[in-house]
Chain A
Amino acid sequence: MIKNNLKIKLVLSFIAIALSFFVFTGNAYAADASSSESYPSYGLIDEGALVTDATQQDEINNELKGIYDKYKVSVYIYTTTEVGMSDDYDGVVQSLHSELKGLTNEDNMVILFIGYKENDHVYQIDSYGSFASNYISSSRAKLIKSEHMQTYMVNGDFYNAELQFTDRVSYYLSQNPQFDTIFFKWWFQLIIAFVISGIIIAVMVSGAGGKVTTTSRTYLDGSHSKVLSGFERYTHTTVTRVKHESRSGGGGGGGGGGHSSSGGSSF
């Protein structure tokens, strides 16, 4: 009986720990589809002519179309040889964004900007709209750049860098960012599983020789015990502020939405 009680307690505590990892649930943002009438909903705008091969251009455009068809997210790749890292490219990027926003009716956009001037390049990924900015967050954009595009960019292989970009954008749009936290990583879960298991078994081993099952109430004579007096007095208040994990503003739908940005790198 006592053993069973312990087992039940252990199982309950385990479930409580397990659930605590998963409390932060939320629904995936639904892609907000609205058709564009005049301006293309995606495209490789290769002003800098970094990818000259027509087949390669088609391939990239195909990828962009695939993303748009599947997720209703407009991805634009804009290249220019007008600015490089040493220039004040920020203004150029801003005006590009305003221009694209004015031209298209799409709510969800991801824009890859590549500036290449005198072997000096800069590239930046931005996203607009509640869905796109949530799924292509600045942290994910950073990962796309450092883990996937960087080696190609350094070698001037813009075609492959752009392909990596489309591939990753496509991948991340399918992955709810709420699962980016460490709690959903298999290796982390494995470690936690063994830590919990170790604790449970250690408790069981320590109880293998019998346990103290008496409590403070076992020998209490309730009829001759009481609280004679007592008070509760307020003393002070402490305040803690915890910043939310990168959460983009803007509710779903409508023309608003968040903006996520990662950029300004040069190699």
Chain B
Amino acid sequence: MVIQYKCPDCGADMTFDAGSGKLHCDSCGHEEVIEGAQSDGEFRNVEPEENTATFEDENVVQYQCQNCGAVVISNKDTTATTCSFCGSPVILGDRLSGSLAPTKVIPFTISKEQANEIFRKWCKHARFSPKEFRMVAKLKEITGMYVPFWLFDTIGQGDAMAEGTRSSSHEEGDYTVTETRHYDVYRQIDTTYLKIPADASEKMADDLMDRLEPFDYDELKTFNTPYLAGYLSEKYNYTDKELFPRIKARVHEYMEDYVRDSINGFETVSIENTNFNISEIKADYTLMPVWMVYYQYENAEYTFALNGQTGKIAGHPPIQKSIVAGYVIGLGLIIFIVFRIISILMGGPVI
């Protein structure tokens, strides 16, 4: 099932416009409101002819572009792409239905041009990277992609035992005597954490995706296929059950913080043991907007991810050791001079 959105006025391809949040026709400027539209309502929903359009071979399904008839290049995870021959946006509807139907989506609010600009600005400020890198001479590609995430709602219940201390000190002759009073602190807590994201794509590095957070959930919309028009999208590789251990570990840390925050009036608090029971209320299959930036620099390709909603960037820029050393020396000398000035102002020796 291939879905392609055509302009009702001129018949050209329509794509999702990050600025207006509507489907936009580049050709005549016509705009279609997405909100409230059925995912396969007023737009055409063309079933490919069984014999020619779709066949399955070792889990790879081939789709045919409704625009030019060419085979749509896709892998087994692709849910939205563009036809590599005519550039028409193609949405693979059968991979977005049933158990694979996303519940929610955060649409792109940052356009490709804005993403480009944000990335260049970010590179310019990459102070530890080589100068040539900061100039961004060769940007290989910027691709808008809806990355599959699970948003977990969880309940965490349990109790924790901590040790808290308070101390006071007084002088006794030549000695400073410090008395530290130790307390057992117990807390039983019942917590709820909502919409903790975990990326469900095996291609995306977890640490890269984690650093794109937070997303603004006010913009969370009920999923609708037109949002994908003009972007790449993939289906999830991991189910929510498979990802839950990751979330569990995260909630466990959150709960320890919750316990710590609830303990006041001590100078030190250390949690000694916990007995937490963390369970999933639900997990929403959600597509998150990410601009993938591929940057070719000195025969190596660097991948950066840019939050398509907030503009936050994650990725590892090349680090030049000599620049880092320069910073360490420069800052070290400044700190040293400050130390000396403070010493001298206090009446200490100059040398």
Contact = CB atoms under 8 A, between A and B. Distances in A.
Contacts of A233: 183-186
B328 interface: yes
A230 B158 CA distance: 12
Interface stretch (B65-73, B113-121, B226-234, B331-339): B331-339
B187 A230 contact: yes
A35 interface: no
Contacts, number: 185
B179 interface: yes
Interface string B175-218: 11111111111111111111110000000000000111110000
A205 B178 CA distance: 39
Contact of B332 (A194, A210, A217, A221): A194
B126 interface: yes
Main secondary structure of the interface of B (DSSP, over half): mixed
A192 interface: yes
Contacts of A232: 164, 183-186
B331 A230 contact: no
A230 B188 contact: yes
B336 A189 contact: yes
B197 to A, nearest CB: 9
B187 A227 contact: yes
Interface residues of A, number: 60
A175 to B, nearest CB: 6
Interface in A212-250: 212-221, 224-244, 247
Contact of B342 (A22, A197, A238, A247): A22
Nearest to A241: B175
B256 to A, nearest CB: 8
B241 interface: no
Contacts of A179: 343, 346-349
Contacts of B190: 225-226, 228
A82 B178 CA distance: 50
B160 to A, nearest CB: 9
Contacts of B188: 227-230
Interface stretch (B16-24, B139-147, B283-291, B312-320): B312-320
A197 B335 contact: yes
A235 B211 contact: no
A138 to B, nearest CB: 14
A159 interface: no
A198 B328 contact: yes
A20 to B, nearest CB: 11
A201 B324 contact: yes
A31 to B, nearest CB: 15
A39 interface: no
B224 to A, nearest CB: 25
Nearest to A19: B342
B262 interface: yes
B215 to A, nearest CB: 10
A126 B280 CA distance: 77
B314 A209 contact: yes
B175 A221 contact: no
B342 A18 contact: yes
Contact of B172 (A14, A224, A241): A241
B192 A221 contact: yes
Contacts of B331: 197, 200-201
A224 B191 CA distance: 6
A235 to B, nearest CB: 5
Interface of B: 125-129, 164, 172, 174-196, 210-214, 253-254, 257-258, 262, 312-317, 319, 324, 327-329, 331-333, 335-336, 338-340, 342-343, 346-349, 351
27 contacts: A18-B335, A25-B346, A179-B348, A184-B349, A192-B335, A193-B332, A194-B329, A204-B128, A204-B327, A205-B128, A205-B324, A208-B316, A210-B211, A210-B315, A211-B211, A213-B312, A220-B258, A224-B192, A225-B190, A225-B192, A229-B188, A230-B187, A232-B183, A233-B184, A236-B182, A238-B182, A244-B175
Interface of A: 3, 14, 18, 21-22, 25, 28, 175-176, 179, 184, 186, 189-190, 192-194, 196-198, 200-201, 204-205, 208-221, 224-244, 247
Q: Which 5 A-B pairs have the closest CB atoms?
A: A197-B332, A210-B314, A216-B257, A193-B336, A224-B192
